[in-house]
Structure 1
Amino acid sequence: MRKVSTVFYISIIIVILFIIWGVIPASKLPDYNLGAVSTAVHSFLIDRFGWFYLLAATTFLVFCLFLIFSKYGNIRLGEDDEKPEYSSATWFAMLFSAGMGIGLVFWGVAEPISHYHTPPAGEGGTPEAARLAMRYAFFHWGLHPWAIYGVIALALAYFQFRKKEPGVISRLLRPIFGDKVNGAVGITIDTLSVYATIFGVATSLGLGAIQIGGGLSRLFPAIPNNFITQLIIIIVVTFLFMTSAQTGLNKGIKILSDTNIALAVWLMLFLLFVGPTSFIMDVFTTTIGTYLQNLPSMSFRLTPFEQSDWPKSWTIFYWAWWIAWAPFVGTFIARISRGRTIREFMIGVLAVPTVFSALWFSVFGGSALYLERFQHISIIDVMNDKGMETALFFMLQQFPFGTILSGLAILLICTFFVTSADSATFVLGMQTTNGMLNPPNSVKFIWGIAQSAAAVILLWTGGLQALQTASIVAAFPFAIIMILIVISLIRSFQKEPIAKKRI
């Protein structure tokens, strides 16, 4: 434990205090419980600064696209003659598994169906509502979130592997703040990054347990989706990811990530061919076109004249959520991206996950919309009655081999679940040991137990939603930090010799 930084101790104290706050019954603190305070702060930020989230996310995307086509794209994330540490297939599998894999499984059916019945504009349940539902699903899981991840990941990889800085967020701002990043300013920035990571992952652990429980309950009605079932799931998953975490990056996470992608592709192809294949591919083709065509207008869409809460409830919420997750995902992507050029890195981070997400939503969301529109099977009623976590399993059971598909989906959620938690312990270890590339197992063990304990306690008290909201509050100051990181990168790139070689 001698290798841990001050950030480690401060973060542990914050975790304990927030868990205590989260388990205090609302009746004891009616106006000041975690749920009430975090919701009030989050609502204030979304209402007053929703425009800021939209402008920031779009700025990050424009910056990433600029780097692909600029002279800086030739800069290598490491020494000039260094080769990538991982193959392209393994690299993609690892970044995708940590980035949003479990979210795609959860929202692949639920989000398009929700948009179909409550669209961003116009009436629900119409052909136009279906088109908008798919377009916005592509939008929310496409280029923008991966640009947010890409900015942090690029900066960390560049400063760590090329400039030999420790792999912590605060050191990315040295070109702006100088040696102040070694003091209180740096500790504050790094603590904010750990705060967003630990609570974001703890929330995902709880929500993942709920969805696995919902799937098991759907397949085996004798198993109730209650706290006891969810507790057992978290205990089993904790054992698995803690075992994996002790084996290091090149064994546990690498093997799990490859398994994730194989399972995801098999499940997607299976449904593609047993489902309405032609309809799904038509949806994919037409939605890709309308997504790219409407990308600028969607990127800046607010509703000041209609006074609709739809953008706040979906787009702005998502952008804040991705920004809150950026320290975690960005740190992990940076760690596995050594040796790639900036151009190769950005194309990989932006294009490959966006296309895969589009295919995923076309297959799962498209199949669900096909059932709603042409088979008159109401998935929204199941979601309203049994919860969003059951939508995927209900939809799968409407097709041939539905039980097999549901079993594969549960297995996929489990592997994504384990990989995300495993990756999080690795990232938290790095961020609290001054950026060690291979943090001690003891530190990873402590963070693994901490995030699982937070998930269990808040699942028991019903505080997961409050914790999710509290973690998203961190997105506002971190968005400002990300803007400073962009400025810091530009200043550093301008000093690179490669900038003088090509025009």
Structure 2
Amino acid sequence: MSKYPSFFRLNVRPYVFWPPFILLISAVISSIFLPEVFSNQIRNLQQAILTYFSIGFSWVSFLMLFLVIIVFFSPLGKYRIGGAKAKPRLSKLSWFAIILCTTIAVGILFWGSAEPLNHYFFPPDFFDLKPVSTDAKNFALGALFFHWGFTPYAIYAVPALVFGLILYSDKPRYSLINIIKPILGRKSGRNWSGILDSICLFALVTGMAASLGAGILSLSGGVLSFFPDWSPVLIQPAITLLILITFLISASSGIEKGIRSLSLFNLGFFILLLVLFVILGQGLAIFPAFVDNLKTYFNYFLDLSLQISGAGNQWTYDWTTFNLAIWTAWAPITALFLGKIAVGRTVREFLIFNLFLPAIFCTLWMSIFGGATLGFAEQAPDFYKNLLEVSGPESIIYQVSLDMGYFKLFSQLFILAMFISFVTAADSSTDALASISMDKAGNDVFKTDVNLKVIWGTLMASLAWVMITFAGVDGVRMLSVIGGLPALILISLATYSLVLLLINPKKHLL
């Protein structure tokens, strides 16, 4: 008998799998046949979320970062996920590679150069910064660190830590309800688990589709830079299909083979790009610049975190709230995966590998690539501003490679790195999606139904391609924010759950 059920006899929790699946299929159909109506509705919904819940995203994120620092130095930091005798399933290097590639996806490749350029040319008016100035340049990198550094990783770390502790302590059902078990009690929440899992499934699929869509645009931009006569209409679906096929091959290998191997390869590629960019670009001058960028980040940290100056400002909605909403939308389902693979690690180890190390890596990356981009923009501001507005953010990194004099080398490496990043991110995300939507799981939580991974991966790829085809990058950005609102409620409760674990771990952990 086959280990997994046949494709037509899906091993699913009906109330978890079908509502988000049908809703997402409806979104795809609506965007094809009613593109203007669909786009307007999504835009209005996104703007409402960004406007009315902006302060909530900022303050909750700030509190989460503050809380994990307390947890790190508390007695809870000594607790081992899975119990005192639990053994890790992954080496530390493999663990870090999987965490990094799961969380950043292709974001740092796409926005590492494009985002600081936006802040440089269009800084927020509430800081009274003159566009294309030294002050605007410094702020651009400080804001970049804020949007991609310690605060976003705290958003991931809190629900993931709570889920991992509860999952391996109480052996409950594999559900997001575990994140709030310290609040509800061990025997409560069963009736709500399906609704909660269903909502968060929708949130991650839209967020992942948005990231994948942005990456497809960037990949197609890279291919077009080599073959300008080719048609984007043909390139984009071809890239989407190639990513999907590669993912399907990897999906059948599981965490300890497919995801681990791809993540290690992906991490190696990231490091190679960093080293080459430093050697062939700014050289050792990058390290003093990194320290200066950190100072700028800390100077603006409290203001951006609490919206002291920027509350109610459109820049805050478009950048800070938007970025936090995306990280928040991804956090609950991603927490399932990050919590699952943390077995055998102490809470302190968990925070080092899930927060501090990835945040340091991302800020170093952003300093190198963002700093190089702004350096070239200073020399030709009109050209870069026109490129950003006309060709889009996906074109920036390729122009930077051209200005460095190593266009062919870096462009080819970036295209390959982005491709691998898509596959690894899709693999880990669909593992979480499949795990939570499975009806019957085996004794090993590392084993996931491959059929469900294929379904979710295909849906995400289709959704990404449809959105960029009919709505462009703006449609992708709008779609990704929607899941942030329900996720904000859940991670707020997860934060309270971690407070309860911090105060009395023996009461909630076996």
The alpha carbon displacement at 1:406 in A equals 1.0
**Runs (5+) with no aligned partner, structure 2:** 1-8
State TM-score, norm by structure 1.
Answer: 0.92
What residue is the counterpart of 1:397 in the other structure? 402
Task: Go from structure 1 to structure 2 and tell me whether the alpha carbon gap of 1:484 and 1:498 turns closer, same or farther (over 3 Å shift).
Answer: closer
**Runs (5+) with no aligned partner, structure 1:** 28-32
Paired letter, 2:218: Q
- Residues 1:295 and 2:301 are matched in the alignment: yes
- Residues 1:25 and 2:34 are matched in the alignment: yes
Q: 1:124 is matched with which residue: 131, 150, 166?
A: 131
Paired letter, 1:262: G
| Partner Cα separation in structure 2 for residue 379 and residue 331 of structure 1 | 41
What residue is the counterpart of 1:91 in the other structure? 95
Q: Give yes or no for contact 2:65–2:154 (8 Å, CA) kept in 1.
A: yes
| Partner Cα separation in structure 2 for residue 268 and residue 250 of structure 1 | 27
Task: Go from structure 1 to structure 2 and tell me whether the alpha carbon gap of 1:119 and 1:460 turns closer, same or farther (over 3 Å shift).
Answer: closer
Three-state SS of the structure 2 residue aligned to 1:276 is helix
> For residues 431-470 of structure 1, what are the structure 2 equivalents within 5 Å?
431-433=436-438, 436=441, 437=445, 438-462=447-471, 465-466=474-475, 468-470=477-479
**More displaced 10-residue stretch of structure 1: 82-91 or 351-360:** 82-91
- Residues 1:80 and 2:88 are matched in the alignment: no
Q: 1:373 is matched with which residue: 365, 373, 378?
A: 378
What residue is the counterpart of 1:137 in the other structure? 144
Q: 1:473 is matched with which residue: 482, 485, 498?
A: 482
What residue is the counterpart of 1:107 in the other structure? 111
Q: 2:367 is matched with which residue: 362, 368, 388?
A: 362
| Partner Cα separation in structure 2 for residue 10 and residue 286 of structure 1 | 49
Task: Go from structure 1 to structure 2 and tell me whether the alpha carbon gap of 1:498 and 1:81 turns closer, same or farther (over 3 Å shift).
Answer: farther
State TM-score, norm by structure 2.
Answer: 0.91
| Partner Cα separation in structure 1 for residue 336 and residue 165 of structure 2 | 12
**More displaced 10-residue stretch of structure 1: 333-342 or 145-154:** 333-342
Q: Give yes or no for contact 2:141–2:293 (8 Å, CA) kept in 1.
A: yes
Paired letter, 1:258: L
What residue is the counterpart of 1:324 in the other structure? 329
| Partner Cα separation in structure 1 for residue 313 and residue 71 of structure 2 | 35
> For residues 233-248 of structure 1, what are the structure 2 equivalents within 5 Å?
233-248=239-254
- Residues 1:43 and 2:56 are matched in the alignment: no
Q: Give yes or no for contact 1:280–1:367 (8 Å, CA) kept in 2.
A: no
Three-state SS of the structure 2 residue aligned to 1:275 is helix
- Residues 1:171 and 2:178 are matched in the alignment: yes
Q: Give yes or no for contact 1:159–1:172 (8 Å, CA) kept in 2.
A: yes
What residue is the counterpart of 1:263 in the other structure? 269
Q: Give yes or no for contact 1:156–1:334 (8 Å, CA) kept in 2.
A: yes
Q: 2:207 is matched with which residue: 197, 200, 204?
A: 200
| Partner Cα separation in structure 1 for residue 374 and residue 333 of structure 2 | 33
Task: Go from structure 1 to structure 2 and tell me whether the alpha carbon gap of 1:19 and 1:2 turns closer, same or farther (over 3 Å shift).
Answer: closer
Three-state SS of the structure 2 residue aligned to 1:124 is coil
Structure 1, residues 2-40: CA drift from partner, whole Å, max 9, x if none?
Answer: 63212112232222222222223245xxxxx33222221
Q: 1:423 is matched with which residue: 404, 407, 428?
A: 428
Paired letter, 2:385: I
Task: Go from structure 1 to structure 2 and tell me whether the alpha carbon gap of 1:387 and 1:464 turns closer, same or farther (over 3 Å shift).
Answer: closer
**More displaced 10-residue stretch of structure 1: 296-305 or 158-167:** 296-305
| Partner Cα separation in structure 2 for residue 463 and residue 113 of structure 1 | 20
Three-state SS of the structure 1 residue aligned to 2:109 is helix
The alpha carbon displacement at 1:218 in A equals 0.9
Instruction: Please give the root-mean-square deviation of Cα atoms over the aligned residues, in Å.
Output: 2.2
Structure 1, residues 421-450: CA drift from partner, whole Å, max 9, x if none?
Answer: 111221110110158422211111221222
Task: Go from structure 1 to structure 2 and tell me whether the alpha carbon gap of 1:17 and 1:498 turns closer, same or farther (over 3 Å shift).
Answer: closer
Q: Give yes or no for contact 2:71–2:502 (8 Å, CA) kept in 1.
A: no
What residue is the counterpart of 1:159 in the other structure? 166
**More displaced 10-residue stretch of structure 1: 18-27 or 352-361:** 18-27
Q: 1:15 is matched with which residue: 16, 24, 27?
A: 24
The alpha carbon displacement at 1:328 in A equals 3.3
Task: Go from structure 1 to structure 2 and tell me whether the alpha carbon gap of 1:145 and 1:304 turns closer, same or farther (over 3 Å shift).
Answer: closer
The alpha carbon displacement at 1:270 in A equals 0.3
Aligned length, in residue pairs: 492
Structure 1, residues 89-145: CA drift from partner, whole Å, max 9, x if none?
Answer: 111111111101410000111111111111233111111111101111111100110
The alpha carbon displacement at 1:336 in A equals 1.7
